[in-house]
């Protein structure tokens, strides 16, 4: 049997749904061979068209604000920050396993909200970024 790939919207499942919006998601599992443990992406509302709510699988950690989406620059800034080499190295120092738990993410130190928004605005202007570009931009925040 195949695993279900949809959520039936009803009173019981409503608590699992989020309004369509911008979110930052982090993959919960990685393999030891992967380059990075922390892999973040932005979920954009346009990808889901007219759908008013979204259901997220259990294999991702979700950054949201009171069960609502983030501002677009904040979502992009969080994703950029979490995809940097510095974050990956920090994560590997305190976690020897390949699973990225929500608690692990909560315990990390983050730049200020203002700095994350600035990172996101910069990232949105750049388009596709290399690892070197993301790492260099993060260095400008920490100096």
Model confidence pLDDT, tens digit, residues 121-130: 999 999 899 9
Place of tokens 């070197």: 132
Domain ranges (residues) in the chain: 18-142
Q: Which pLDDT score, from 0 to 100, does residue 113 have?
A: 95
Q: What are 109's two structure tokens?
A: 């130190």
* pTM, two decimal places: 0.89
Count of beta carbons in the 10 Å neighbourhood of residue 61 = 21
Q: Which pLDDT score, from 0 to 100, does residue 34 have?
A: 67
Model confidence pLDDT, tens digit, residues 45-60: 999 888 889 988 888 9
Model confidence pLDDT, tens digit, residues 15-47: 989 999 999 999 988 666 667 889 999 999 999
Model confidence pLDDT, tens digit, residues 72-94: 999 999 999 999 999 998 888 87
């Amino acid at each position: 049997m195949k695993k279900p790939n949809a959520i039936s919207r009803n009173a019981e499942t409503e608590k699992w749904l989020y309004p369509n919006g911008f979110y930052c998601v982090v993959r919960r599992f990685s393999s030891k061979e992967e380059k990075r443990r922390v892999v973040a992406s932005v979920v954009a509302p346009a990808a889901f068209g007219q759908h008013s709510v979204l259901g997220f699988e259990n294999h991702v950690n979700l950054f949201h604000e009171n069960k609502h989406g983030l501002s677009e620059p904040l979502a992009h800034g969080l994703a950029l920050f979490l995809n940097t080499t510095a974050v990956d190295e920090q994560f590997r120092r305190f976690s020897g396993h390949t699973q990225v738990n929500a608690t692990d993410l909560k315990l990390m130190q983050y730049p200020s909200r203002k700095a994350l928004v600035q990172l996101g605005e910069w990232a949105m202007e750049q388009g596709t970024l290399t690892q070197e570009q993301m790492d260099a931009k993060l260095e400008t925040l920490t100096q």
